[in-house]
Amino acid sequence: MSEHTALITGITGQDGFYLSRHLLNQGYCVHGIRRRSNSFPAPRPEPVGADAAAAAQVHHHIGDLLDPIGLRRIISNVQPTEVYNLAAQSHVQTSFEDPIYTATVVAMGTLNLLEAIRDYRDASGREVKFYQASSSEMFGKASETPQSESTPFRPRNPYACAKVHAYWQTVNYREAYGLFACNGILYNHESPRRGENYVTRKITRAAARIKLGLQERLVLGNLDAERDWGFAGDYVLAMWQMLQQAAPDDYVVATGRTHSVRDLLNGAFGLLGLDWHDYVCIDERLLRPVEPTRLCGDASRARRQLGWQPRVSFATLVHMMVEADLAAAEREQTLLAAGYTA
Ligand code: NAP
Ligand code: GDD
């Protein structure tokens, strides 16, 4: 039996996938919490081949951050040495439409988990390390660029406000109860497993489907928005590294470079020999009431203390995502040709 047992909330999400693969490679016994049902799932590709084999090694538990009793039961059964809290209503635009639900899951859900861990640790005498998925969105209307661990938070949407709550709860459990608890303040990270309603994947998927004649137009919001985009596979390494340090701390994880939505469009459509101007239209309903100021991270502490650095460039990331979406579009086309409809 492995001496390292990880419990991941949000196992069905993008980061849950990459983190579980990394921990399995490190010899961990990996457990994940998934919801029994979800009325509004973010479509993500099913794992195939080696990915499916890895996913099959994860022990799944039905649970919800909103069910504190269930969380306690899972923790005392699993006896984790590390808990990674990745679960969230993580879509910013949705948080404007559904602020109370978002705040309940992100803020109170994290508190439910922290309480369950504290009680388990106190009752069992076993140390449990805790990772909280904090977000660059917490900087919001940032007073400086790039942002570091010392930049004040000024959140600009319900999701970010709730993440600030969860951040400070995590710090408080470290300081008040001596829990080994870390915040990873991660900037946008993407992959072929990104949900289809985030801008990167929305663009790469649309470009591929337009190329194959499966889609005619792409409707977007703010094309001037800029983000510091990295690869999710790189970022989960930082999560794990934080919990391997001698002492807990909080870390910004970012590439330090920003690109605009237009850059994304140029990259994705350009790879397929298409001009995005011919296909993209703007729908004002996709504009957000407010946007953060230029989010660009200074990951010096992570580089210095964790030895972490991003390996995948923006161009390679876009290439990787377009390639995966082109393969998915080709499968879709084959199924359509064979008479299958969604
Ligand atoms: P994601 O793909 O949206 O995954 C979110 C996960 O949370 C899904 O597995 C979802 O389950 C689960 N979940 C939602 N509500 C839940 C609840 N009430 N109880 C239990 N599970 C619940 O997000 P991600 O991109 O992997 O991000 C992981 C975490 O990092 C999130 O907390 C996000 O806010 C944070 N973060 C992400 C980024 C980024 O750029 N990706 C940057 C900074 C911070 P279903 O499959 O059932 O929906
Ligand atoms: N989703 C989306 N859809 N965004 C669009 C669109 C569109 O059609 N058109 C333009 N955008 C712009 C948004 O206005 C935003 O400025 C930018 O593209 C990125 O949007 P998202 O991909 O939805 O990501 P996000 O930055 O709001 O949030 C993601 O990153 C955060 C870290 O900074 C999420 O993963 C959050 O959970 C995460 O905390």
State how far the alpha carbon of 172 is from the alpha carbons of 85, 106, 176, 178, in Å: 16, 16, 6, 9
Q: Per-residue pLDDT for 43 more than 90?
A: no
Do 76 and 160 lie in a common domain?
A: yes
CA-nearest residue for atom 5, ligand 2, is: 199
Q: What is the pLDDT of residue 96?
A: 97
CA of 85 to the centre of ligand 1 (A): 9
Find the CATH number of the domain harbouring 320.
Answer: 3.90.25.10
Residues with CB under 6 A from ligand 1: 9-10, 12-16, 33, 35, 38, 41-42, 64-66, 86-90, 105, 109, 133, 135, 186, 188-189, 195
| 64, part of any domain | yes
| Type of residue at 342 | A
Residue 342, in any domain of the structure: no
Alpha-carbon span 20 to 162, nearest angstrom: 25
What is the percent of the chain where pLDDT is above 90? 91
Q: Do 21 and 59 have their domain in common?
A: yes
Same domain assignment for residues 20 and 155: yes
Q: Give per-residue pLDDT as tens, 103-127.
A: 999 999 999 999 999 999 999 999 9
* Per-residue pLDDT tens digits for 246-264: 999 999 999 999 999 999 9
- Can 120 be counted among the known catalytic residues? no
Question: Which string of b and e fits 54-71 if b means at least 16 CB within 10 Å?
Answer: bbeebeebebbbebbebb
Query: What is the total count of domains within the chain?
Result: 2
Of all protein residues, the one whose alpha carbon is nearest to atom 20 of ligand 2 is 199
pLDDT-derived band at 36 (thresholds 50, 70, 90) equals confident
Give me the mean pLDDT over the 185-214 stretch: 98
CA 37, CA 15: separation in Å to the nearest integer?
Answer: 19
Indicate if 204 and 84 belong to the same structural domain.
Answer: no
The answer to whether the beta carbons of residues 179 and 130 sit under 8 Å apart is yes
The percent of residues in the chain predicted with pLDDT above 70, rounded, is 97
In this predicted structure, the answer to whether residue 159 has a pLDDT above a threshold of 80 is yes
Closest ligand, as measured to the CA of 36: 1
Share the mean pLDDT of the chain. Answer: 95
Task: Verify whether residue 135 is a known catalytic residue.
Answer: yes
- Residue from 84, 159, 187, 235 carrying the catalytic annotation: 159
Instruction: Determine the structural domain holding residue 76 and report its residue range.
Output: 5-192+229-253
Within a domain: residue 323? yes
Are residue 112 and residue 204 in the same domain, yes or no?
no
The verdict on residue 152 lying in a domain is yes
Q: Domain holding 175: CATH number?
A: 3.40.50.720
Q: Are residues 134 and 216 in the same domain?
A: no
> Which tokens is 275 given?
């001009």
Residue 48, pLDDT > 80, answer no
Query: Which pair of structure tokens corresponds to residue 283?
Result: 């729908």
- Give the distance (Å) from ligand 1 centre to CA of residue 336: 31
The whole-number pLDDT of residue 340 equals: 83
The pLDDT value recorded for residue 42 is 59
Query: Are both 244 and 264 inside the same structural domain?
Result: no
pLDDT tens profile 280-319: 999 999 999 999 989 999 999 999 999 999 999 999 999 9
Same domain, 62 and 146: yes
Any domain includes 176: yes
- Tell me, yes or no, whether 220 and 158 share the same domain: no
C-alpha–C-alpha distance, residues 184 and 93, integer Å: 22
**What integer pLDDT is reported at residue 317 of this predicted model?**
98
Is residue 305 one of the residues assigned to a domain? no
In the structure encoding, which two tokens stand for residue 320, read together? Answer: 């990787």
Q: In a 3-state reduction of DSSP, which class is residue 210?
A: helix
Indicate if 84 belongs to the active site: no
Indicate the residue type of 275.
D
Cα separation, 62 vs 74, whole angstroms: 9
The verdict on 54 and 147 lying in the same domain is: yes
pLDDT digits (tens, 9 = 90+) for 13-23: 999 999 999 99
Contact 264, 198 (CB under 8 A): no
pLDDT of 49 > 80? The answer is: no
For the cut 70, the answer to whether the pLDDT of residue 131 exceeds it is yes
**Pocket (CB within 6 angstroms of ligand 2):** 90, 92-93, 135-137, 187-188, 197-199, 202, 220-222, 225, 227, 261, 286, 288, 291, 295
Please report which confidence band the pLDDT of residue 342 belongs to, taking 50, 70 and 90 as the band edges: low
Q: Could you tell me the pLDDT band of residue 341, with boundaries at 50, 70 and 90?
A: confident
Alpha carbon of 9 to ligand 1 centroid (Å): 8
Instruction: Read off the pLDDT of each residue in 70-94 and give the average, rounded to a whole number.
Output: 98
Whole-angstrom Cα distance, residue 40 to residue 143? 35
Calpha distance 220→283 (Å, rounded): 6
Would 158 be classed as within a structural domain?
yes
Answer yes or no: do 245 and 332 share one domain: no
**Alpha-helix residue ranges (DSSP H) falling in the chain:** 14-25, 50-56, 68-78, 92-97, 99-103, 109-124, 158-177, 199-211, 232-242, 261-271, 300-301, 314-337
Atom of ligand 1 nearest to the CA of 91: 3
| Domain assignment present for 304 | no
Indicate whether 173 and 281 sit together in one domain. Answer: no
